[in-house]
Amino acid sequence: MLSVKNDLLAALAAELDILSPGAGAKSAFESPKVAAHGDFACTAAMQLAKPLKLNPRALGEQLKAALEATPAFQRWVDAIEIAGPGFLNIRLKPAAKQEVVREVLAAGERFGYQQDNGQRVLVEFVSANPTGPLHVGHGRQAALGDAICNLFSTQGWKVHREFYYNDAGVQIQTLTTSTQLRAKGFKPGDDCWPTDPENPASKAFYNGEYIQEIANDFLAQKTVKADDREFTASGDVQDVESIRQFAVAYLRNEQDKDLQAFNLKFDEYYLESSLYTSGRVEATVNKLVANGKTYEQDGALWLKSTDYGDDKDRVMRKQDGTFTYFVPDVAYHIAKWERGFTKVVNIQGTDHHGTIARVRAGLQAADVGIPQGYPDYVLHTMVRVVKGGEEVKISKRAGSYVTLRDLIEWTSKDAVRFFLLSRKPDTEYTFDVDLAVAQNNDNPVYYVQYAHARICSVLRAWQEQGGADMASLQGVDLSALEGPQAQALMLQLAKYPEMLTAATEGEAPHDVTFYLRDLAASYHSYYDAERILVDDEAVKKARLALVAATAQVLHNGLAVLGVSAPVRM
């Protein structure tokens, strides 16, 4: 139906240009708020009435008559009705809706994809420092980042997935000290282990059992290998540098296992420490100073971030000579820009909201050609986990939080991905473990996957009865698809490409989950209304083509989310 809609839009644009030169550039259709009103709605008459000084309804009548005379509308449109002050409600012929079945079957996995646009986008997500297992919040970020990457890919972008982490900061030093104490035989609760809640250092110590596992493997002089590093432990409890490097490599390996369980890979791991060793942080600070965008006060170096809309100026270099954490962020984003990524999306927790204004201010103050509003940010809230009706807060392994791997082991990779993407990122979300494993229609991922498996069962039954291969369905006569449920299903299929485009522009993968649930509902309604494997060969082939197209779009949409499309359940 894409070709049909394009034909109709072209005809509309031509008629609008006749009414008002240049108006055709804004030709568009909307979806009627009430399905019974038609398949497309057009508000052009009301928009043009005022500048043309005409009555909108009279202009609507004029536009209606003009459109009805065009070949495209004569071929594809059953009726045009005037509503209200000048709405045009357009009803398509069944043949117009049937075109989407051919389009889906012809395009297959590429249905909804746009051509290569020659542009590159970098999406940075997860970016967890290697100080412990990935928690559920990281899981939400992983699901968001991967789905957003997949969305950009459907729209012709070349996507680069990046994981940024610090391997040498205060948290890493705390990890090193915690591991060293465990290697020496101490544990949380011993006199040497900080326990004073008023002491910030004690809050930073890592108490989970995974620290003992790191210490044991360090003493055994094991070698650990992660995607971006490999290290062999010295086994010497006094060798602090060896403990640090081994602990970082060990936990990066653990993170890789979490990511593998999530079926997620990154193109690049970028180290915060490299921004210092390469001189990028120093160069960035010098540039800001040279541009007159800083000042000294109270022994600290400040950025004039209020010049760029921040609510107050920000400290860049503290009295002790160390930089605040947004400074390397500015250097990092200058590096992204210099690497050719004019489009950058950062997936971060809502606790990072305060850094947005200062990072963007630093980028503008650096004056290196970066546009305002760079980079994009998608902020997400944390996730509550409920199991057996009670909130789960503690993981024995992590010591203080539910890990991503816990959630996957309790449910499945598919359930975790779909559930964590089923709400807008900035809304609070409660992950119900019991619902995620339930095999009923209340479980959204089960509901969608079951629709796909149900179709596959029908297609298998047809082939077992001597049916031809799936390719044979592409050229069948679809005229039998005239029932209301069939037409509603075809209209739902036709929404998929525009939904992908809108979800990409809004960086909103939850739109895909909403769409898939609606598509599954449309299919279940159709299945309940019309038997597919009927005796009439022509009718059977048409219905098989429709459900095969539906299975393809379900498969494609689930793939965007990183969720499987099972053929049996």
- Average pLDDT, integer, range 376-403: 84
| pLDDT per position as a tens digit, 51-71 | 999 999 999 999 999 999 999
Contact between 166 and 129 (Cβ < 8 Å): yes
Six-digit token string for 169: 């900061």
What number of CA atoms fall less than 13 Å from residue 14's CA on the CB side?
14
Question: Would you state the pLDDT for residue 193?
Answer: 80
Q: Backbone phi, then psi, for 135, in 5-degree steps?
A: -95, 180
Please tell me the distance from the alpha carbon of residue 515 to that of residue 557, in angstroms, as a whole number: 8
Mean pLDDT for 266-278 is 96
Q: Per DSSP, what are the bridge partners of residue 162?
A: 124, 268
Quick one: pLDDT at residue 202?
Answer: 46
Instruction: Check which CATH number belongs to the domain holding 532 and give it.
Output: 1.10.730.10
Question: What is the model's pLDDT at position 35?
Answer: 78
CB atoms under 10 Å from CB of 392, counted, come to 18
Domain holding 307, by residue range, is: 278-380
The verdict on whether omega for the bond into residue 71 sits within 30 degrees of 0, i.e. cis, is no
> Both 445 and 556 in a single domain?
yes
Backbone angles phi, psi at 378, to 5 degrees: -120, 110
Identify the three-state secondary structure at position 481: coil
Contact 453, 555 (CB under 8 A): no
Domain boundary among 380, 403, 423: 380
* pTM of the model as a whole: 0.91
Q: What is the distance of C-alpha 66 from the center of its chain? A: 43
Name which of 33-37, 83-87, 429-433 the model is least confident about. Answer: 33-37
Q: CB count, 10 Å around CB of 430?
A: 12
Q: How many domains in the chain?
A: 3
Give the tens place of pLDDT for each residue, 212-228.
999 999 999 999 999 99
pLDDT value at 483 more than 50? yes
Q: Is residue 290 part of a domain?
A: yes
* Cα distance between the two ends of the chain: 31
Same domain, 549 and 445: yes
567, burial (CB in 10 Å: exposed 0-12, middle 13-18, buried 19+): middle
Q: Cβ-count burial of 548 within 10 angstroms (0-12 exposed, 13-18 middle, 19+ buried)?
A: buried
Distance CA 180, CA 221 (A): 14
Residue 302 sits in a domain of what CATH number? Answer: 3.40.50.620
Among 334, 356, 380, the domain-final residue is 380
CA-to-CA dists, residue 193 to 179, 188, 196, 396, angstroms: 11, 6, 9, 19
